[in-house]
Each structure stands twice: as structure tokens, then as C-alpha cells.
Amino acid sequence: MEFENYEQRPSAIIRCEGDSLRAFVGDTLPGIGESLEIRSEAGDSVFAVVRRHVGGREVDALLLDPPAWVQPGCAVHATGKDAHMPLPSAGVTQLKDLAFSAGAEDATDTFAFRARELAFAELNGARPALSTGFGPVDTLAPVAAAGVNLVLDASPNADAFNTLCARIAAAGDFDAKLRLSNDGSPADWVTHQLELEPNPARQLTGVRVLTNWAARLRDQGQNLLVCAELPPLSTPGFTSPEDAAQGTSIGEVIDLLGTALSSTHTATVTTLLRLPLFDSAAGIDAIIETMSLGDVDAQIFVDADTRFVPTRSTSRAQLDADAQSQQQQLLSLLNRAANARDKAALLGEFGVTDAELQAIADADQLNVSLLD
């Protein structure tokens, strides 16, 4: 085979849009998560992180708040090192103030944008239940400590989710409590807050930054609570039409976050993720259970009125014998109420017994509001 028509061209940016850019990198193909140095003719340089390979010796990369001189044609250089960010201290950190670098792997003042892969022997599979103070939640779909908890929220704002986070922060024994905020609202239970402007395009970037930040703190031996909101689903099952085209579903995103935030035998990470259904594509809330939402330890459904919906919530949190017995009693009640509703729909209210009507009323009491 002859290669006489092999294209020789310099490594350079092809196009850039917002925080995203596409670059031709030649034969030195950088790995996902590695840093890509961008150079200007004047000698300035910044670093981006490689997000994906798109074929043809081209890559997509992320560069937060690129300077004006970053334009198509700028030279790029694969560093061969993982992209790093400065390790924030406690308090509030603005996402716009963070920048990528080709940091050293043993640096103590940075964290890698690609969390290290944990060995199987490091993983901690214990998932004890955490109390929220909401009886039906704690019995039927308890929050799993050291696990990933997904809140499917059909309400118009994050008030119910924030209440859950605050209650878990008070109930658990955490060394640090991390939160992603896109509205600048303060929370007195938070020790580390990452803030970004209300921008759905940046929401997932903020989640990734918070995730890798938390992974670094976990590797330092800290027990963590991590609370973050995912971007709305603009296309069924996907966070954006671009993700749909590339085949990256919300389930895959949650799986990646869960893997990065796995608990170990030396430190645990309790994660709460909010998936806003109110702002997602129309009708998503009605079919969300039919989608692959990743491997989560608990799934809590909140309706449009901020009420807990037990029939659409599940949990794998570990319960003691008494709690399991109470859970079975409430599940039996929900089953009787569902059968009674079906009977009433077929025969009318005079076709059901007083006991069946009472079962419906008792089951309705489990739909508690998740607001203080």
C-alpha cells in the first residue's frame, strides 16, 4: 500500500463555538481527558481538555471562557498529560475562575479532570439507609448512604431537592459537603460550593468539574456529600440534540458520574442528583421510567406539587429487620389501594368497600410534601 497522498497539515483549531472547539491533531492523538495546549502567534497559550475523538485525526475539546485570540487556525499541541484544574478551598468557587492546565500527577494543589479508575478491591458496596425525616421516603425509598441517589423532579424548581440535601447533610457524618449551584443561592449546610451562571450548556460541565473535584477529596480520605443538578432532557433520553446524535444518553452520563464517585473502604461519597423533568421535553415525566437512567442506588420521584410519589420510587438501601417489615406493610397497602382504584374505576365508588376506600385514603397520606 502506498501513502504518497498522505495529507501533511499542521495541528490547529478547525472551529470553535462557545466553550467547545474542534482541532486537527495530526498523528499524535491525545487521550480522552488529556490536555491540549493552544498557542497564539504572539506566544500566548491556554489549555483545553480533550472530550472525544471524532475521526480523521480530529478531536473535540473543552476550553472554559476562551480568550478572544483563540480562533480557527491557532496551533495546538498534545501535551500527553492529563488536564488538571486548581483545587478549590472551602467556600464558594466560580466555575468561570477555573482554568485547565497540564498539571503534574503528584501535584497537591490541582485535581485531574479525569478521575482515576478504582481497583475492584477498593470499592465499598455497603449502602446503609440515611434518614431524611420524611417517614414515607425513609421507609419506601430510603436515601442510600455511600451511593448514587437520583431525584426525578417534576416540580418547577429545586426547592424539594434542596430540602432533601439539607436534611441529609444534617443526618450524615460528612467531612465535606459539595454543591453545584446555578442560581447563586446560599446554603448554610454547604462547605464547598461550585457556582455557574444559569446556562444549560454549561450545567453538565459544572457537574463534571464537581465530580472530579469530589473524587480528589475522596482520595484524600474525606467522606463526602455531593449534590448536583443535571441539565434538562431536551430530547427524550438525552441532555441535548448533540448528545442524541452522538449516542450519549442520560443513563450513560449517570453511570460515568457514579463510577467516578464510587465509595471506597477508606472514604465514602453519598451523591444526590436532580433530574429536572419540569424543564425537560414535553411528556418526559410520564415516560421517564421507560428510559435507561443508569445504575442508581435509589430513585425518588417528586411530582409537580413537590410531593413524594412512592409508586414511582425505588431504593436498594440496606434496611434492618424492623424497617424491612414496615416497608412490606406499606407496599402491601399501596398494592391494595391500587387494586381498589382499579375496582372503583370499573364499578364506581359504590362498587368498593369501606375498607378499600380507607386503603386509598391511607395510601394518599404517603404522598408527603418534601418542603419544610
Using the predicted structure, report yes or no on whether residue 336 has a pLDDT greater than 70. yes
Residue 315 pLDDT greater than 50, yes or no: yes
Q: Which residue, 298, 315, 332, sits at the end of a domain?
A: 315
Let me know if residue 36 belongs to a domain: yes
81 falls within a domain:
yes
Residues 6 or more apart from 309 whose CB is under 8 A from it? 301, 302, 303, 367
Average pLDDT of the segment spanning 61-74: 94
Residue (of 198, 201, 287, 301) closest to 241 by Cα position:
201
- Res 371: pLDDT: 93
Domain CATH for 59: 2.40.10.170
CA–CA separation, 168 and 145 (whole Å)? 9
Q: Domain total for the chain?
A: 2
Q: How confident is the model at residue 240 (pLDDT cuts 50, 70, 90)?
A: low
Inside any domain, residue 48: yes
Check residue 5 and give its pLDDT: 57
Q: Quickly count: other Cβ atoms within 10 Å of residue 307's Cβ.
A: 20
Do 273 and 279 meet the contact criterion of CB atoms below 8 Å apart?
no
User: Do 65 and 172 fall within a single domain?
Assistant: no
pLDDT band for position 49 (cuts 50, 70, 90): very high
Check whether residue 196 and residue 289 sit in a common domain. yes
CATH number of 285's domain: 3.40.50.300
In a domain, residue 34? The reply is: yes
Same domain, 79 and 121: no
Averaged over 156-174, what is the pLDDT? 95
| 159 and 305 belong to one structural domain | yes
Please write the tens of the pLDDT for every residue from 282-311. Answer: 677 777 777 777 889 999 999 999 999 999
Residues 208 and 128 in one domain: yes
Residue 162 and residue 280 share a domain: yes
Answer yes or no: do 40 and 153 share one domain.
Answer: no
Q: What is the pLDDT of residue 187?
A: 87
Which of the two residues, 241 and 297, has the higher pLDDT score? Answer: 297
Classify residue 131: in a domain, yes or no: yes
- 80 and 139 in one domain? no
Q: Are residues 152 and 295 in the same domain?
A: yes
- Which position has the grid cell 430513585? 299
Judged against a pLDDT cut of 90, whether residue 18 lies above it is answered with no
With pLDDT > 70 as the criterion, what percentage of the chain qualifies?
A: 93
Range(s) of the domain holding residue 310? 115-315
Burial of 357 (0-12, 13-18, 19+ CB in 10 A): middle
357 belongs to a structural domain: no
Residue 267 belongs to some domain of the structure: yes
181 and 297 within one domain: yes
Residue whose C-alpha is closest to residue 272's, from 180, 366, 200, 157: 180
Flag whether pLDDT at 235 surpasses 70.
Answer: no
Confidence of residue 237 (pLDDT cuts 50, 70, 90): low
Same domain, 136 and 282: yes
Q: What percent of the chain has pLDDT over 90?
A: 67
Are both 228 and 297 inside the same structural domain? yes
What pLDDT is attached to residue 245?
Answer: 46
Domain boundary residue among 277, 296, 315? 315
Query: Domain ends where: 88, 123, 144?
Result: 88
CA nearest neighbour of 252 among 204, 318, 209, 198: 204
What's the pLDDT tens digit per position in 106-124? Answer: 678 899 988 888 999 999 9
Banded model confidence at residue 239, pLDDT cuts 50, 70, 90:
low
Cα 27 versus chain centre, distance: 34
Residue 364 lies in a domain: no
Confidence band (pLDDT; 50, 70, 90) for 232? confident
